[in-house]
Amino acid sequence: MRRGVVLTVLATMLALAVAGTGAAAQDDTVVVALSSTLTTLETQDTTDTDSAAVRFSIYEGLVTINQHGETVPELAESWDVSEDGRTYTFYLRKGIKFHDGTPFNAEAVKVNFDRLMTTQRNTSAGAYFTMLESVEAVDEYTVVFRTKEPFGPFIRHLGIHAAQIMSPAAIEKWGDEVGQHPVGTGPWKFVEWVRGDHVTLERNEDYWREKPGAKRLIYRIVPEPSTRVAMLETGEADVILRVTPEEVERLSNNPNIRVFKTQTARSMFFSIHTQRPHLADPRVRQALNYAVDKEAIVKSILGGAGVVADSPLGSGVFGYTPIKTYEYNPQKARQLLTEAGYANRLSITIAAPRGRYVQDWLVAQAVQAQLQAIGIKAQLNIVGDFASYIQQITSPDRADLMFLGWAPSTLDGEGGLYQILHGDRANQFANSSAFDNDEFDRYVDLARTSTDQEQRLEYYQKAQEIAVEEAPMLFMYYQAVYTAVRDRIEGVYVLPSEQLIMREVRLK
């Protein structure tokens, strides 16, 4: 009897152990290990890249930006643009339904954009569409957008996650809680979200295009890089993001795993709170830039997976112009601090996330040490939960310097310069530097309203020159990321905006 009890217990333990190895043990399930806590699954309350990656599996937009940076049709078949550049007429695909059975049509598009235009949420989503004047459903499958003035990157704005279309029935039913009950037209349908742990999706069997090659997709939240690697090696996870440089070689030598590198358009920086009295002088902000050895950080901490920044825009973004690299020059940094009256008496606070970006907390520690080396008292706060960190970014009592990465989903300079530095966005996400410079704003506004692409490039260059000189941020580097995938998985890629795309995933 005792032997029978022991065998029963052992069998139970074995069953639990097998269950604990994760759903990737099932042939029809794919598991992705994400590095940061998700904030929302509502398209119009967007903040972070990992949440957007999940939403890209659930929702679709009128157009989308593919892995080559091209804007291509999605829920819209085609569109026309008026001669004055203010009216855009979209012709929609027919016969598509949302996951809840609601028909996709022009009225659904209008409901979404009317809501986006009137929302008062303090996120970057609404800021992408302040140019809109009206949206009209002309007939069931024709929708017309009118802008207040010409807006050069409008089509690209429709390709980002903030413009993806939610079920109007879900919006009406759930209201502000629709992000907890996401309903789109995409290849994956929402099943459950256990905050801080996982999101489960199932294949949309009625998808209008080719369906994914797996039945279930699970996104697990795993902030610790070493844990993500272990999950991949054991088969508990099929895909992991932001592989640390020290793990790349080992994983590459595993015959069951392949590793690929994506040079992203993400610019990494520490925003500098320009409205704090001790940081209001550009010379102080320039000194911070001269005090940090970015080349050494890229080489030693990132393993070469990055390029030192010479502009607030990433090199893969339309409008990017190489302006100036702040070389490592601690003597120049001390000189500028002395001229500004802060020799050996500057104290600052720094905040950084842990696990959201590649080696983010180690980069922050290196910056802290290098600032202290020239006599700056620097207090560092590392935040492990990225959702909490996002809340801090625009808090009135936020740190003086906040580590952040920004890759415009539009891959257009407007999505970077306007969102993170324009005065309209001061103290809002993501302009935590509270930068407000009239001349800079003027050039950005000119680039936004022009439809002449060569002219737009000239305006962006002027704006970048001002930003680099005024130094509202500690310019760091353009991030490259490594993604590791189990050999049984195909069809996975990462956009230049760093969003992982699982729409076309297949099992070998």
**Structural domains in the chain plus CATH codes:** 23-40+177-262+481-507 (3.40.190.10), 61-167 (3.90.76.10), 264-479 (3.10.105.10)
| pLDDT attached to residue 45 | 81
DSSP 412: B
Q: Are 8 and 142 in contact (CB under 8 A)?
A: no
| pLDDT attached to residue 21 | 41
Residue 211 three-state SS: coil
Token representation of residue 57: 């599996």
Task: Report the C-alpha gap between 271 and 428 in whole angstroms.
Answer: 13
Token representation of residue 315: 């090199």
Task: Report the C-alpha gap between 368 and 379 in whole angstroms.
Answer: 7
DSSP 331: H
Q: Are 36 and 355 in contact (CB under 8 A)?
A: yes
234-278 per-position pLDDT tens digit: 999 999 998 988 899 899 999 999 999 998 999 999 999 999 999
Could you tell me how far CA 176 lies from the centroid of its own chain?
Answer: 22
pLDDT band at 223 (very low <50, low <70, confident <90, very high): confident
pLDDT band at 123 (very low <50, low <70, confident <90, very high): low
310-367 per-position pLDDT tens digit: 999 998 899 999 999 999 999 999 999 999 999 989 999 999 999 889 899 999 999 9
Residue-wise over 1-34: b if at least 16 C-beta within 10 A, else e? eeeeeeeeeeeeeeeeeeeeebbbeeeebbbbbb
Could you tell me how far CA 347 lies from the centroid of its own chain?
Answer: 31
Q: Which residue has the higher pLDDT, 376 or 225?
A: 376
Look at 2-11, 139-148, 319-328 and tell me which has the smallest mean pLDDT: 2-11
| pLDDT attached to residue 32 | 98
Q: Looking at the DSSP assignment, which residues form a beta bridge with residue 75?
A: none
Task: Report the C-alpha gap between 183 and 94 in whole angstroms.
Answer: 18
Q: Which residue has the higher pLDDT, 10 or 215?
A: 215
| pLDDT attached to residue 67 | 86
| pLDDT attached to residue 31 | 98
Q: By CB neighbour count within 10 A (0-12 exposed, 13-18 middle, 19+ buried), where does 100 fall?
A: middle
Token representation of residue 292: 């940090």
Respond yes or no on whether the N-terminal peptide bond of residue 430 is cis (omega within 30° of 0): yes
The predicted model gives 209-221 an average pLDDT of 97
pTM of the prediction?
A: 0.79
pLDDT band at 507 (very low <50, low <70, confident <90, very high): very high
The residue among 108, 110, 152, 151 whose CA lies nearest residue 131 is 151
| pLDDT attached to residue 428 | 87
Q: Are 467 and 285 in contact (CB under 8 A)?
A: no
Task: Report the C-alpha gap between 194 and 201 in whole angstroms.
Answer: 12
The residue among 426, 403, 415, 375 whose CA lies nearest residue 474 is 403
| pLDDT attached to residue 352 | 98
pLDDT at 42 over 50: yes
pLDDT at 6 over 50: no
| pLDDT attached to residue 299 | 96
The residue among 96, 94, 60, 92 whose CA lies nearest residue 182 is 60
pLDDT at 13 over 60: no
* Ranges assigned E (strand) in 175-247: 188-194, 198-203, 216-221, 239-240
DSSP string, 417-479: HHHHH-GGGBTSTTBTT----HHHHHHHHHHHH---HHHHHHHHHHHHHHHHHH-SEEEEEEE
397-415 per-position pLDDT tens digit: 999 999 999 988 899 999 8
Mean pLDDT of the chain, nearest integer = 91
| Sign, Cα dihedral of 303, 307, 309, 315 | negative
Look at 20-29, 184-193, 225-234, 301-310 and tell me which has the smallest mean pLDDT: 20-29
pLDDT at 429 over 90: no
**Count of C-beta atoms within a 10 Å radius of residue 205:** 9
pLDDT at 117 over 90: no
pLDDT band at 441 (very low <50, low <70, confident <90, very high): very high
Q: Which residue has the higher pLDDT, 368 or 315?
A: 368
Percent of the chain at pLDDT above 70? 93
| pLDDT attached to residue 1 | 38
Percent of the chain at pLDDT above 90? 78
Task: Report the C-alpha gap between 264 and 498 in whole angstroms.
Answer: 6
pLDDT at 15 over 80: no
Q: Looking at the DSSP assignment, which residues form a beta bridge with residue 71?
A: 65
| pLDDT attached to residue 316 | 84
